[in-house]
Amino acid sequence: MAKSVASITTAFALIFAFFILFASFEMPVAEAKQCSKRAQKWTGPCIKTGSCRNHCRKREGAVDGACHYDFPGFACFCYYNC
């Protein structure tokens, strides 16, 4: 009886070890490269990144948007998948 319990415990430990080993080999997710350019239809200085993001997504068909410094002030930049 004790021998069968030990063999079941050993088998369970081996299966668990293989599961942990194979779970650590996740496939890397390929992320799309993003390119940025200044928003074409944005007017005025960019103060709120949230407003720039909404503008880029809704009006310029971009993935994202953010305010960045562009001499002489801040401008809205849109991000597109390249």
Domain positions in the chain are 34-81
Would you state the pLDDT for residue 29? 67
41 and 60 Cβ atoms separated by less than 8 Å: yes
- Report the top-level CATH class of 34-81: alpha beta
Residues paired with 76 in a beta bridge? 67
* pLDDT score of 9: 74
Distances in Å between the Cα of 80 and the Cα atoms of 35, 52, 64 are 5, 14, 7
Tens-place pLDDT, residues 5-56: 667 777 666 666 555 655 566 666 667 788 999 999 999 999 999 999 999 9
**DSSP H or E segment with residue 80:** strand 73-81
